[in-house]
Structure 1
Amino acid sequence: MLVPLQPDLSKPYYGPGYRLDFPDTTGDCSSCHIPGASLRGNIDPASAKGADKYGVHCDFCHKIANVCIREKTLMPVPRVQGSAAAEIRRPFPDDSKRSHLFFGTFEDVNADEGDINLPLLKESRYCASCHFGVFWNTVIYNSYGEWLASPYSKAESGKAKTCQECHMPSPTVWKGKTITNVAPGKGGIERDPSTIHSHFMTVDETLLKNSLTMTVKTKVQKQKIAVDVTLCNDKTGHHIPTDSPIRHLILLVAAKDSRGNALALIEGPTLPEWCGTGDPAKGYYAGLPGKTYAKLLIELWSKVFPTGAYWNHTEIVSDNRLAAFAKDVSSYSFIKPASGNTEVTVTLLYRRAFKNIVDWKKWDTPDIVMAQKKVMLRAAPNKSLSKLVSGN
């Protein structure tokens, strides 16, 4: 029997990959990431042609007629995900009456041309097939299930919102201009801008920067400076971060004296080794004051931890991500300087992948600053400290 082993880092290594572990199969990644090419079965991504090379494209999304979910749980069937969990009505070149079938949300559809108004496109269920994924009985992707369990899915909560209302809001603003015509000069007509939905979705960093609220409280004591940081997921209908387990948040808490020297941490959590050991200026934060928020997996055979290779047998070691409306408070104490001002800086970063994976694969994926606050504790003539706060 072949047993998975940890990679030998004394030899050239370029990070985990499905085909490295299962070279004779294609896996089911394409069912969500290249769904248009996967209707007849999973494919090798390298074989994708035409529009399918772009991954998820317009033609596929606007051909989804239904998303299959269980009646009682309202969730997709485990291990049946992506294109396999959706009913697709692709063009029918041999049938002139259905050759241009297209589902959308405009009410003034042209039925003769195959345009159909489909309410499903405004429902969160539409997103379920690719935002719930189970591998080896471990739930990996679950932003749809997280939304379903939150007040955002319940009309009676007074907070109900669909996925589309947050990720595809209207009106659409492009280069500072509100869009009122999706195809000017090419048959498009002027429309109420509230009917035209944004398609920036997850590529919009503004959405990330407005997904939660961070508050910072400082207190000057005799021998130390205390810092309390509260994160509240008050703006997002799923966990933060969500879906891919290599995504995580890094909370950095720093205190410096008037000369710019870091003040020693007396009490409080520090960042784990997997945040990267090295120069903090280059994104290696292990050992610094702070906290991470992530769903962490371990590979059962090789014991690689944390791992993003969920195509292998894994189990969840911990999950401290912020669910909808959840709060987390972390506290830190630093040695108070003998004199001069003190600056406290709290930064919340969104990191798309573990630092070692980014390095192995040489990805250009800079951290995104989700929130940052600076508190200046000024030394008064009587040597007490007053406070000045800045940041978002």
Structure 2
Amino acid sequence: MAEFIPYGRQCITQADIDAVVDVLKSDNLTQGPLVPAFEQAVAKYCQAKYALACNSATSALHLACLALGVGQGDRVWTSVNSFVASSNCALYCGAQIDFIDIDIATGNLSIAALIKKLKQAATNNTLPKVLIPVHFAGQSCDMQAISNLATEYGFRVIEDASHAIGGQYLSQPIGRCQYSDICIFSFHPVKIITSGEGGMALTNQAALWKKMQLLRSHGITRESAEMREPSHGDWYYQQIELGYNYRMTDIHAALGLRQLNELDTWVAKRHQLAKRYIEAFQGTHIVPLDQTPLNYSAYHLFVVRLAGLSFRSKQHIFNELRKKNIGVNLHYIPIHLHPYYQQLGFKQGDFPVAEQYYHQALTLPLHPGLNEQQQDYVIERLKRLYLKEAS
């Protein structure tokens, strides 16, 4: 098969293109009506009260930490199996970061490991101010259990749901914020829906929404009630805090708003493809991540573990699949193994389950544009290479 098969790919229709072109022809390329329309549509879909669009999920994570008062001397914990944005956002605020090991079957943070770490932290006064659970590959963490622990130990919760818009937990949409303070989505091109670049923070707490809204745009307000002195006129604004330029444009919002119409259809297609993978690998040592009965995954990624093989064998399979134009990938390098984080004191062996997962994991192509012929080609090649390496 000559055509390259990527692990993820955006789906762009003529209707998407038309929506963006309409904005380009309008008077509002940046701060027009489509950003709030996109926010309201996502909030409605997720059954949350408030939503705030940003230029990336990383920016949204940073704003979420700031809104919860994360600063110097605070501690933030997150999953070690994630992209570095999940932890970098705390470092941007001057906080200390630490990690939770994972459940190797799901790739999500381990509730048992979290409980153990919380009990230890409670004895030496090192409890986190904020926990950032990561809904890896589109499947929610056990948020009810995390919420109960947050109440018991007194920390706040930011869901990093960058992979998970369109998914459900306990039959409710991810993003509803029933068990968290803030929930973050990503609209990067390989995610479930895209706005080109972009992210969004959802919350049910007006104070957090207003704080993030202020910090998203330089800490500037035009609301007279928030000003430190009376307004000088309709032109007047004041910077009352040190904020950032984390705004989304109407160009990006137009694409995201249009793509939202396809969300349920695309997630359903991802489920169909995932089912074919799962059935194809039954009875082999190619092991897909478990899907818990609490969840309806958004299936941003389809990850398998190549059980029983060495890391070198996995490397060989990865390289051979790439040579066959199959764009496999790896999600993720455990964050504590990156040189920057090792400079902070983390080292190999700190989170052994995540390290074992890293040695075994392989991300296979999964996106709505993947057809069954391409998928069968991926399955056949992977099985053949696995058997060769295992023999």
TM-score class, shorter-chain normalisation, is under 0.3
Looking at both structures, which has the greater relative contact order when contacts are Cα pairs under 8 Å and sequence separation is at least 6? Answer: 2
- Answer with 1 or 2: which has the greater Rg: 1
* Structure in which a larger fraction of residues adopt helix: 2
With structure 2 as the length reference, what TM-score do the two structures score?
A: 0.26
